[in-house]
A = this chain, B = another copy of it.
Amino acid sequence: MTERPSVVILGAGFGGLTAARSLAKSANVTLIDRHNYQTFLPLLYQVSTAGLAADHIAHPIRASLRGTPAQFRMGSPIAINHAQKSVMLDSGEEFSFDHLIIAMGSATADFGIDGVKEHALGMKSIQEALLIRGEIMRRFEDLCRFNDQTRLGISVVGGGPTGVEMAGAIAELIRGPLKGDQPTASAQMDIRIIEAGPRLLPSFSQSLSNRTARDLERLGVDVILNKAVQSVAPRKITFTNGEVIGSEITIWAAGVQGEPAIERLNLPISRKRIDCLDTLQVKGHPHIWAIGDNAGAVDAKGNLYPMVAPVAMQQARHVAKQIQALSAGKALTPFKYRDKGSMATIGRHKAVVEVGPFKMAGIPAWYAWLWLHLIYLLGGRNKIGTMADWTWNYLTYDRGNRHIMDGN
């Protein structure tokens, strides 16, 4: 081991980027991603619903590394040469490493449900967000054209924070700006959120779940609980109880799983996550580390950590410290997650926050959500642009980005 180890990081999401910045001074870092920008996924649903410009939730990775000696390379890993300790990229390049950090994030999980891949819209990339925005606006223009009694069903499947935020934002788009554009057509659009379990936001306490359902219903969202999707087909969803509903647009927010590309890396994998020790070292590979959505580490109760940004960022900082400890000949420590709570926004002045026993809802929760997301958004330009868009939306009740711009 050299004093200044070579560290290759696969993936420039919350985890990978945090690791790169934490290690930039003490190691020769190469950060690899298939995109040249990081996507701020927590605000993706606002691009889908015309609240934010697509470019404002993206940030060039090279700009994030500006001022550090860390290197960036655009590409996708296709294999690890474990004997040589190197990673091969799709470009044919090979990078040797002393340490390798796997931070490739996650992809939409269809749980093997028929038709999800083909007929539901995912929520994992800016392209997908623009597709959702384009589909909503295109169907709206269709309704304006038909000038009849046609109903248009928009279904958000999944009652977690992602689904709740999406359903609320679609309802606000339709009941606000689209109503102003053409009141008859907007009134023909039905929005519903579908959850297989007995309540929305199952990771929150019951009282906040109830509050969320009530807030969504006030926005005009039909809350459907205790119904699991059996299959998705064009224009319809079939439930496991045999019931069928019309759904022109089906948005899949029911879950994510580890990015399938990790399977190319010849590492031990179970439940789509890489098996690792409590230090986050991959089992049998002490110089390879898994973080965030890729880490198969478990908490004291034996549960996998949730696939959220705070876990990825805390694990990134933990791994950076372990690599520094190894360079200094010190002992490794196990990762401990410090849960800072969860939050979800439902609409204007409507949000829920839960931190341990502390609960908050309504206007203060909404402001807390807003500022926290603005603080974590990368880049001054994005902060200014997003603040400008939000202020505009707030004051005018407008969503100015309702352009059909998905290339279809």
Contacts and interface: CB of A to CB of B under 8 A. Distances in A.
A367 B192 CA distance: 50
Contacts of A401: 55, 58
A53 interface: yes
Contacts of A177: 63
Interface stretch (A106-114, A204-212, A321-329, A378-386): A378-386
Interface stretch (A137-145, A222-230, A235-243, A306-314): A137-145
B66 A141 contact: no
A389 interface: yes
A384 B388 contact: yes
B66 A402 contact: no
A399 B385 CA distance: 13
A357 B55 CA distance: 42
A55 B53 contact: yes
A6 B404 CA distance: 28
A339 interface: no
B36 A137 contact: yes
Given A63-B181, A73-B144, A398-B381, A37 B392 contact: no
Please classify how large the interface on chain A is, using the bins under 10, 10 to 19, 20 to 34, 35 or more: 35 or more
Given A62-B181, A127-B407, A405-B54, A392 B398 contact: no
A381 B403 CA distance: 14
A93 interface: yes
A382 B177 CA distance: 16
A198 B303 CA distance: 73
B392 A381 contact: yes
A321 B407 CA distance: 37
Interface string A52-72: 011110111011001000001
Contacts of A388: 381, 384-385, 388
A133 to B, nearest CB: 10
Given A36-B402, A55-B55, 18 more contacts: A36-B403, A37-B405, A53-B55, A54-B54, A54-B55, A55-B405, A60-B400, A63-B400, A72-B144, A73-B144, A73-B145, A74-B145, A75-B145, A126-B405, A380-B396, A381-B396, A382-B400, A407-B407
Ranked 3 nearest A-B pairs via Cβ = A53-B55, A381-B400, A62-B181
Interface of A: 35-37, 53-56, 58-60, 62-63, 66, 72-75, 91, 93, 126-127, 137, 141, 144-145, 177, 180-182, 379-382, 384-385, 388-389, 392, 396, 398, 400-405, 407
